[in-house]
Amino acid sequence: MTVVSGCLCRRSWWWVYNEAMGLLLPGFFAYAVRRLRSGTRLNALYDWTGRYPKDWATVPQAPRLWVHAVSVGEVVAASSVVATLRSCFPKAWILVTTVTETGMQTARQRIRDADAFAFLPFDLLPFPRWAMHRVRPHALILTETELWGNLMHEAKKHGARIVLVNGRISDATFAKAQTSLGQPVYRWLLCHLDLCLMRSELDAERLLKLGVPSERVRVVGDVKLDQPQAKLSEGLKAALRSELGLFSDHLLLIAGSTHEGEEVVLLRVYRQLQPYLPNLRLLLAPRHLERVESVMAMVRAMDLVPIRRSLCTGKPLRSNEVLVLDTVGELAKLYGLATVAFVGGSLIPRGGHNIMEPVLHGVPVLFGPHIDNFRPHADLLLKEGRGFQVRDETELVQTAWKLLVSEPLRRTIAWQAEQLLARHRGAAERVAHAIATLLQQSLATQS
């Protein structure tokens, strides 16, 4: 019996998985209500329940590719893969799904080669089954750690190949997958994968230890590093700085993707540095836009004045004013204005967020000790001196000061970042070609 057919026959763990997901049903319902109340379109209910448009099932284009990217960072990585897949399969029909609203907006803006966009259905039967009837993919392409059991199970039943792209196994996931309960469940999840295209040797080694056959695992590089250097033109920089009320001599500290418990630390850091650097300004970008009001309240509590980015009119930004980003999909671009950047989710145990986004602009990046989700990136940046890990507020003040006061140091880091990124070019092309080879073999077998 093959591994794939074995997956379909392991009904005991499929049953365990579905029992666990059933317990989460109230949580899914609460999540849907919260999303709708926060402004998500009402017809998202059709997506979440797998009731995609019926005419998708009759589209004659082939092959049919379903690419899933959970949120903004994964969408950015998937965009170059989708573009290369389109060049390999000009007549393909490509669906891109996301989970978050910001991910959806970013996907529509950045992925020009997709034919359709939708939210991922909740992983509760019969929703993934209904979705598969409408999409009928030849390949289901999942990014990073998006292993949804029912979605993969139904895809296999429909004959689809399943590929993990930019695969990563975080410290927490690896530990959980080796527990007495986690081990068989993860073996069941992972056995659905036909091809695992991993971002690093560490991630590949972990996958092998979890029981994935070596012939299905390849290290192809990090697609998130295979992005064109995102340096803004001087004209665009000047226009953005003018819009935000920043003068040419202003130093800008951007704290991106922050969570509760981090903004207050950054505000204290700003209060400590600002008297010695009167031209320093701060921009806070909370990870979740629904927290904007609470972040603005924190700013006021520190006797500072919050300014919504969406209301910026070019009025000069004063030293007692703090910018709060309340727009979607703009952070990656605004990093290009930063003198120094801090990436959140890392001072608190959330695993961190994409610490490479500032690096794409040549901007020095700081991050906290909780960086499990981006461990290979952090190790790479620390090894080569392009990034700086801080344990607490004191270290954040000291390291930010060192970078803010030394333009030669920042110039050196920017040049080194460019060399680093150049060494990782081609990952997206390697991913797309590996998928194309797998698909061609599959289509040849079917014909």
Q: What is the pLDDT of residues 5-22, one digit of tens each?
A: 445 445 566 666 776 677
pLDDT at position 153: 93
Q: What is the pLDDT of residues 43-94, one digit of tens each?
A: 888 999 999 999 998 988 889 999 999 887 788 788 889 998 999 899 999 9
pTM for the full model?
A: 0.72
pLDDT bracket for residue 32 (50, 70, 90): confident
Q: What is the pLDDT of residues 278-328, one digit of tens each?
A: 999 999 999 999 999 999 999 999 999 999 999 999 999 999 999 999 998
Which one is catalytic: 74, 144, 262, 263? 74
Please provide the average confidence, as pLDDT, over all residues in the chain.
89
pLDDT at position 218: 95
Per the annotation, the verdict on 74 as an active-site residue is yes
Q: Which residues contact 341 (CB under 8 A, 6 or more apart)?
A: 253, 254, 255, 256, 335, 357, 358, 363, 364, 365, 366
